[in-house]
C-alpha cells in the first residue's frame, strides 16, 4: 500500500477524537481529504454523508452532536464557494455551543496570493465563526498538532474550529512521527476530563439560598439535557415548578403538572406566571435570551448552574454561580436541600397548567381554513413513540412545537436554537437518522423552509433511507403559502400590514414531490384526514411527507399579549390588512382579534 498522505493522517487523527462521520461536498480544493475519507470508508473507519448543499453539512455536523451521535462534529467542504456555503451551519454550532471542526479546502500553495480561482482569504473569513482556532496547514508535520488543537479547543470551549487545507498539501506524504527537534511540538489526542462539580462551599451557599425560598422556579435549558432524574429530584425537594428553554424541551415530560413547558415569546402562559410569581430562581444550563420572561429585576434570589462560568449572571442578576456539569452539580446539591416548600405553590402551578391546557384545546379545535396547524401538531404528540427524535425548523412550526408538542424523557429533540435559522429542520432530521438509524424521526418544517433547502435534502433522504434499520422519517410540511412567522411579527411588533410580494410562498405539492422521489407522500386538506394520515406515516416502511395545508391566519399569540403588541395588531387592522377579516373569527382566534378591536375602539374614541 502506498504511504499515507496528509489527508489520511488528518482523517485517522480525527478518528482518535471520535470524529468519524464526515458531512460534506467535494471539490478540487478539498479533493485530497475527500479521497482519504473514501479510503477510510473502504476500511470501515469512517462514514461520508454527501448532502445537497454545504450549508446542510454544517447543520448536520452540528445536529449529529446534538442528537448524541458523534462527540465532535466534522464537515469537509471545498475552497471558495463551498467554504462560503458552510458558514451558516457553522454559526448554528457556534451559537448553540456545539463542538464542530470544519475542514476547508483551499487553492494550492503555489497559487495562493495570486487572486486564483476560488481563492478566498479563508483564515480571515473564518476568523469570526472559528475565532477560537483557525489554522492554515502548510506542512505535513503540522497535521498532528493542528487536528489535536482543533478538536480539543472545539470540545473544551464548545465551539467551532477550522483547518484550511491547501489542495497540494493534502496529497503530500504524511509525517506520522513528528521529529524530536527544535521547532516541533508533540501533542495528545486524549480528551480532557469532563467538567466537574463546583466547590463544596459554593454548593452549600446555593443550597442555603434555595432552602430559604418559598416559591422556587427552575429554568432548564440545553445544559440540563441528560440530567432528567437529578433535575426531577431537585425540583421535588424544592417543591419547584420548572419551565424549559427551547433547547431544553426534551429534559422533562411536558405533561407533568409542575412542568410549565416552554418559556419566552413562543412559550406558555404558566411559564410566564411561574417566573413572575416566584421568589427564588434556579437556572440550569441556559441563557434564554428573552429577559422579559424572567422574574422582574430584584424580584427573585437566583442561583445559576453552567459549564461555562462566562455565561453566569448574563440574563438575571445571580447571587451564587455554580460552574460545573449540570447532572453532577444537581446530584451534589441534592443532599444539601432541606427546603420547606409551601405546597400551595405547586398547586397554583398545576391550576395554571390546567387552564392553559384547556385554552390549548380551544385553540386546537378552532375552525381554520382548511387546517388548523395546532390540530396537526397536537395529533403528532399522541403518535410519537418514546424513542422518537424530533427536528423543527424556524417559523410558526417552532411556536407550535414549543407549545403543543408533548415531549417525554427518552425522546431527542432539537433545532437551530440561538441562530434560529430557517433550513435547519431537514439537515437536523437527516443527522438524527445517521446518529440513530434504528429510531424514528419527525421533522416539522414550514413551506418557506422546505423551499429554501428542505426539498433538496429530501433527495438525500431518498438516497440514504434504505441504509437505516428503521426507515421511518416523517416530514410534516406546514404549507400555509406564507412566511407566516414574519407576517405575524410584522403585525404584532411593527403594526405593519404584511407585504404580499415579500411574504407569499408559492404553493407546491410536497407529497407528490416526495412520491417522485420514491417516498410516501400525501396532501392533507381537512381535519378529518389528519389522524389517519399520521397513523399511516408512522407505520410506513419508508419516509413519508405529509403536506398539511394549514391556515396562515391562525395567530401566534404571545403568552402575555402586551398592550404594545395588541396595539400593533390593531394598527395593522386599521390600515386594512387583507388578512384582518379572516383573523377575527371564532374560537381562539378571537382572542387577539377581540383585544385588537377593543384597542381600535379605544384609539378611535368610540
Ligand atoms: C435563513 C433565514 N432567513 C430568514 C429568517 C427570518 N424568518 C424567520 S421565520 C420566517 C418564515 C418562515 O416561513 P415558513 O418556513 O413558511 O414557516 P411559517 O412561519 O410560514 O410556518 C422567516 C423568513 C430566518 N430565521 N432564517
Ligand atoms: Mg409558511
The tens digit of pLDDT for each residue in 367-423 reads: 888 999 999 999 999 899 999 999 999 999 999 999 999 999 899 999 999 999 999
Residue 49 grid cell: 454523508
Residue 566 pLDDT: 56
160-166 and 301-306 strand pairing: unpaired
Tell the residue nearest (CA) to atom 11 of ligand 1. Answer: 483
Q: Is 51 in the pocket of ligand 1 (CB under 6 A)?
A: no
Q: How far apart are CA 566 and CA 507, in angstroms?
A: 30
For residue 77, what are the β-bridge partners?
A: 104
Q: How far apart are CA 93 and CA 414, in angstroms?
A: 12
Residue 576 pLDDT: 64
Give me the helix-helix angle, 326-333 and 228-238, nearest 10°.
30
Q: Is 422 in the pocket of ligand 1 (CB under 6 A)?
A: yes
Residue 591 pLDDT > 50, yes or no?
A: no
Cβ-Cβ contacts under 8 Å for 56 (sequence gap 6 or more) = 23, 89, 423, 426, 427, 430, 453, 456, 457, 460
Q: Is 449 in the pocket of ligand 1 (CB under 6 A)?
A: yes
Q: Give, for ligand 1, the residue of 377, 394, 502 to mutate: max count of ligand atoms closer than 8 Å to Cβ.
A: 394
How many angstroms does the Cα of residue 501 sit away from the middle of ligand 1? 15
Q: Is 478 in the pocket of ligand 1 (CB under 6 A)?
A: yes
Q: Are 5 and 171 a contacting pair, CB within 8 Å?
A: yes
The tens digit of pLDDT for each residue in 555-590 reads: 777 776 654 555 566 556 656 665 554 543 333 344
Return mean pLDDT, the chain: 92
The tens digit of pLDDT for each residue in 59-89 reads: 999 999 999 999 999 999 999 999 999 999 9
How many angstroms does the Cα of residue 505 sit away from the middle of ligand 2? 7
412: helix, strand or coil: strand
Element (H, E) at 444: strand 441-446
Residue 595 or residue 356, greater confidence: 356
The residue written with cell numbers 386594512 in the block is 576
Q: How far apart are CA 23 and CA 54, in angstroms?
A: 9
The tens digit of pLDDT for each residue in 345-376 reads: 999 999 999 999 998 888 888 888 899 999 99
Which atom from ligand 1 is nearest to the alpha carbon of 395?
19
Q: Is 447 in the pocket of ligand 1 (CB under 6 A)?
A: yes
Q: Is 480 in the pocket of ligand 1 (CB under 6 A)?
A: yes
Q: How far apart are CA 299 and CA 278, in angstroms?
A: 8
Closest to 66 measured CA to CA, from 374, 390, 479: 390
Q: Is 420 in the pocket of ligand 1 (CB under 6 A)?
A: yes
Q: Is 213 in the pocket of ligand 1 (CB under 6 A)?
A: no
The tens digit of pLDDT for each residue in 99-153 reads: 999 999 999 999 999 999 999 999 999 999 999 999 999 999 999 999 999 999 9
Nearest listed ligand to the Cα of residue 487 = 1
Which DSSP string corresponds to 297-329?
Answer: TTTSEEEEEES-GGGTTSSS--SEEEES-HHHH
Neighbours of 403 (CB within 10 A): 24
Q: Quick one: pLDDT band at residue 216, thresholds 50, 70, 90?
A: very high
Residue 343 pLDDT > 90, yes or no?
A: yes
The tens digit of pLDDT for each residue in 472-517 reads: 999 999 999 999 999 888 877 777 778 889 999 999 999 999 999 9
The tens digit of pLDDT for each residue in 247-299 reads: 999 999 999 999 999 999 899 999 999 999 999 999 999 999 999 999 999 99
How many angstroms does the Cα of residue 422 sit away from the middle of ligand 1? 5
Q: Give, for ligand 1, the residue of 486, 490, 499, 506 to mutate: max count of ligand atoms closer than 8 Å to Cβ.
A: 486
The tens digit of pLDDT for each residue in 148-180 reads: 999 999 999 999 999 999 999 999 999 999 999
Alpha helices by DSSP H, listed for 334-389, are: 343-365, 373-383
How many angstroms does the Cα of residue 477 sit away from the middle of ligand 1? 13
Amino acid at each position: 500500500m502506498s504511504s499515507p498522505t496528509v489527508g489520511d493522517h488528518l482523517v485517522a487523527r480525527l478518528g482518535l477524537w471520535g470524529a468519524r462521520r464526515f458531512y460534506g461536498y467535494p471539490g478540487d480544493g478539498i479533493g485530497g481529504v475527500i479521497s482519504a475519507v473514501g479510503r477510510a470508508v473502504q476500511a470501515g473507519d469512517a462514514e461520508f454523508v454527501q448532502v445537497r448543499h454545504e450549508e446542510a453539512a454544517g447543520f448536520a455536523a452540528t445536529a449529529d452532536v446534538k442528537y448524541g451521535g458523534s462527540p465532535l462534529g466534522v464537515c469537509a467542504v471545498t475552497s471558495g464557494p463551498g467554504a462560503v456555503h458552510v458558514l451558516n451551519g457553522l454559526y448554528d454550532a457556534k451559537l448553540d455551543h456545539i463542538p464542530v471542526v470544519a475542514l476547508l479546502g483551499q487553492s494550492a500553495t503555489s497559487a495562493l496570493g495570486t487572486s486564483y480561482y476560488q481563492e478566498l482569504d479563508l483564515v480571515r473569513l473564518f476568523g469570526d465563526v472559528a475565532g477560537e482556532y483557525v489554522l492554515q496547514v502548510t506542512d505535513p508535520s503540522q497535521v498532528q498538532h493542528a487536528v489535536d488543537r482543533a478538536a480539543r479547543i472545539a470540545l473544551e470551549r464548545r465551539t467551532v474550529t477550522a483547518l484550511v487545507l491547501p489542495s497540494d498539501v493534502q496529497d503530500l506524504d504524511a509525517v506520522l512521527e513528528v521529529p524530536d527537534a527544535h521547532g516541533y511540538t508533540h501533542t495528545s489526542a486524549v480528551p480532557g476530563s469532563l467538567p466537574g462539580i463546583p466547590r463544596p462551599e459554593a454548593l452549600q451557599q446555593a443550597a442555603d439560598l434555595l432552602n430559604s425560598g418559598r416559591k422556587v422556579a427552575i429554568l432548564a435549558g440545553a445544559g440540563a439535557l441528560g440530567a432528567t432524574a437529578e433535575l426531577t429530584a431537585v425540583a421535588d425537594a424544592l417543591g419547584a415548578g420548572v419551565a424549559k428553554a427551547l433547547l431544553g424541551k426534551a429534559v422533562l415530560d411536558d405533561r407533568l403538572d409542575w412542568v410549565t413547558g416552554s418559556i419566552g415569546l413562543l412559550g406558555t402562559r404558566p411559564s410566564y406566571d411561574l417566573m413572575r410569581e416566584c421568589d427564588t430562581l434556579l437556572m440550569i444550563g441556559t441563557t434564554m435570551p428573552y429577559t422579559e420572561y424572567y422574574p422582574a429585576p430584584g424580584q427573585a434570589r437566583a442561583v445559576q448552574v453552567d459549564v461555562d462560568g462566562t455565561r453566569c449572571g448574563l440574563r438575571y442578576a445571580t447571587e451564587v454561580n455554580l460552574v460545573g456539569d449540570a447532572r453532577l452539580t444537581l446530584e451534589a446539591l441534592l443532599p444539601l436541600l432541606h427546603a420547606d416548600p409551601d405546597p400551595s405553590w405547586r398547586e397554583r402551578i398545576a391550576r395554571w397548567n390546567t387552564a392553559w391546557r384547556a385554552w390549548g384545546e380551544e385553540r386546537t379545535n378552532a375552525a381554520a381554513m382548511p387546517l388548523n396547524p395546532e390540530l396537526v401538531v397536537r395529533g403528532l404528540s399522541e403518535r410519537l413513540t418514546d424513542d422518537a427524535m424530533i427536528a423543527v425548523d424556524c417559523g410558526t412550526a417552532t411556536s407550535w412545537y414549543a407549545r403543543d408538542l408533548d415531549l417525554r424523557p427518552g425522546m431527542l429533540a432539537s433545532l437551530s436554537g440561538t441562530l434560529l435559522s430557517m433550513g435547519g429542520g431537514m439537515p437536523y432530521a437527516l443527522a438524527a437518522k445517521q446518529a440513530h438509524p434504528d429510531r424514528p424521526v419527525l421533522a416539522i418544517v414550514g413551506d418557506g423552509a422546505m423551499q429554501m433547502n428542505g426539498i433538496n435534502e429530501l433527495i438525500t433522504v431518498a438516497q440514504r433511507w434504505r441504509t437505516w434499520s428503521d426507515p421511518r422519517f416523517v416530514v410534516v410540511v406546514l404549507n400555509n403559502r406564507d412566511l407566516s412567522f414574519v407576517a405575524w411579527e410584522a403585525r404584532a411588533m411593527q403594526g405593519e400590514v404584511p407585504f404580499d410580494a415579500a411574504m407569499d410562498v408559492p404553493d407546491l405539492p410536497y407529497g407528490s414531490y416526495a412520491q417522485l422521489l420514491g417516498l410516501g407522500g400525501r396532501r392533507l386538506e381537512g381535519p378529518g384526514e389528519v389522524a389517519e394520515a399520521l397513523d399511516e406515516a408512522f407505520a410506513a416502511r419508508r419516509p413519508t411527507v405529509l403536506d398539511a395545508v394549514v391556515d396562515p391566519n391562525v395567530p401566534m399569540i404571545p403568552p402575555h399579549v402586551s398592550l404594545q403588541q395588541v396595539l400593533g395588531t390593531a394598527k395593522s387592522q386599521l390600515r386594512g390588512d387583507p388578512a384582518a377579516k379572516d383573523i377575527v373569527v371564532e374560537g381562539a382566534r378571537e382572542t387577539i382579534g377581540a383585544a385588537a378591536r377593543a384597542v381600535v375602539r379605544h384609539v378611535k374614541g368610540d
